[in-house]
Amino acid sequence: MGLAVLCSRLLGLARELILARLFGAGFAMDAFKSAFRIPNLLRDLFAEGALSTAFVTVFSKKTAQGDDESAWALANKVATLATLVLSVVVIVGVFLAPLLVDTLAGGFSPEKAALTMLLTQIMFPFILFVSLAALVMGLLNSKDVFGAPAMASSFFNIGSIAGGVGLAWWIDPEFGPRSLIGLAIGTLIGGCAQLVAQFPALFRVGYRFRPDFRWNDEGVRSVLRLMGPAVIAASAVQVNVMINQKFASHIPGDGPVSWLDYAFRLMQLPLGLFGVAIGTVTLPLVARHAGAGDTEGLRSTLAKGLRLGLLLTIPSTLGLVFLAEPIISLIYESGKFDAEATLQTASALKFYAVGLAAYSGIKVLAPAFYAIDRRTTPMMVSFGAIGANLLLNWFFTFHLGMGHRGLALSTGCVAICNFVALYLLMRKATGSLETGQLVSGTCKLLVAGAAMSAVCVGGARWMAADWVHSNRGVHALQLGAVIVAAAVVFFAVARVLRVEEMDDLTGALRRRLKR
């Protein structure tokens, strides 16, 4: 799962690198990224958030009870219902694009807003493809198939790169704003590829789709009952995204939207590799424990997932904070992406990274509440996050004058608050989450992190001494050497301090290598 996500994230990073070099971080990319975010918000709201979580929970419980026939029938009913509903959402979204753009990017100039609206209308069908892909992914995860669905998003990146860049060049070889139409069409090609790429694995587990309109079914009702609070909880998250977008559009000049997006996507590399991967694997296990009434197994699974997430995300956080500028410079700085864009993007990345470990924990905890039938809990926590996000955005961005960096810091702080609230509520619901081990392990990891930070700081100074005078190949070797040295120091100190999850991690790697 981790390797598949790594492949996908690296391809996604390649996609962002290509866009940065061809279009930079200004008028064109602000419009494209804002337009892409609108269908993406709805995808997060209805598909990968609410629908996927609800479906995996109900489907996994049915398979745990040995009721495969009923589980397959439920899959057909939900897939049919999702296809029809999302098709209507696409049609409505195309017509409401002007209103959506005005809501999310009200600070854009008329020219930038017009381009954003056109791109939004072209990309709106993306929500249908990627939502069905998320549903298929949930089905495969429930059958303990993780690699193939995790690799599916790689096909999205390949399709969007090849199709999007090719069409953009065909429309405008100079890659001006008009060529973004090609990128928008390429996004649809990538979304379709992400869905179709999972079909072979789907056939291997024995699933055959047959349209089923008999929705008066207890399984469908269970999915919808879980979806209700999940949609409300996810909508709170999307309201925060809309608030951030609105604030970013009112920051003077061209670039803040792009700087934030490039930085956040880079942070998603370790988040997807570790946080999302652990959360995805954990959810079906938690649902099975809940279905079997095994509270002890449920607590142990969640606790292990949280501790493993900290082991992997704490060094990632420190690396992004101390090495942000050389990382951004190496990856993005070329073509229309200049040194100023590197500096501004790196400053956002440092503040986003503050919430990385918390994001990982949220990915493990939030879906688990639906498995234990506490479906309103994430919803209530998310409502509190809206107020906190609005207040912190205003305070950091305008009161302290931090600009786009304030939005990144606010996002990180809200993630930490969310995680703490979810952890305390889950601990209350389950009786224990092995808190003593979590605190002890975290302290040990912070000691290892201090040693790693010293390596990163020294490495950053070493690279800065001749960064301007050396070429890109030397930059890559230098940065790679610093990252490897920092990682070795961190995990060596963690091993010396007897961090329990180090044994689990190394044991899993040995078993994988033997296979």
Q: Residues 13-35: what's their mean pLDDT? A: 79
Q: What is the pLDDT of residue 414?
A: 87
336 against 89, higher pLDDT: 89
Identity (one letter) of the amino acid at 408? Answer: A
253-280 tens-digit pLDDT: 677 877 887 888 788 778 777 777 777 7
41: in domain: yes
Q: What is the pLDDT of residue 48?
A: 57
Q: What is the pLDDT of residue 280?
A: 72
156: in domain: yes
Q: Could you write out the DSSP letters of every residue in 71-92?
A: HHHHHHHHHHHHHHHHHHHHHH
272: in domain: no
Give me the domain span that covers residue 35.
Answer: 27-232
147: in domain: yes
Question: Given a cut of 70, is residue 510 above it in pLDDT?
Answer: no
Average pLDDT in the chain: 81
114: in domain: yes
Under the banding of pLDDT at 50, 70 and 90, the label for residue 400 is: confident
Residue 337 backbone phi and psi in degrees, to 5: -95, 105
Q: What is the pLDDT of residue 448?
A: 93
34: in domain: yes
106 against 427, higher pLDDT: 427
Q: What is the pLDDT of residue 350?
A: 92
Displacement of CA 44 from its chain's centroid (Å): 10
Q: Are 448 and 313 in contact (CB under 8 A)?
A: no
Tokens of 302: 């969640």
Under the banding of pLDDT at 50, 70 and 90, the label for residue 131 is: confident
191: in domain: yes
Tell me the helices (H) and strands (E) count for the chain, helix number first. Answer: 22, 0
Under the banding of pLDDT at 50, 70 and 90, the label for residue 329 is: confident
| Total Cβ atoms within 10 A of residue 68 | 12
Task: Count structural domains, the chain.
Answer: 1
State what percent of residues in the chain have pLDDT above 70. 88
Tokens of 384: 């509190």
332-382 tens-digit pLDDT: 887 777 888 888 889 989 998 988 899 888 888 887 887 787 877 877 887
Question: How much is the pTM?
Answer: 0.68
d(CA 403, CA 384): 23
Please tell me which of 102-111, 113-122, 293-302, 503-512 the model is most confident about, judged by mean pLDDT: 113-122
92: in domain: yes
User: Which of 288, 263, 437, 451 minimizes the C-alpha distance to 347?
Assistant: 263
Tokens of 172: 């405008």
437-489 tens-digit pLDDT: 888 888 999 999 999 999 999 998 888 877 766 677 888 888 999 999 999 99
Q: Decide: helix, strand or coil at residue 125.
A: coil
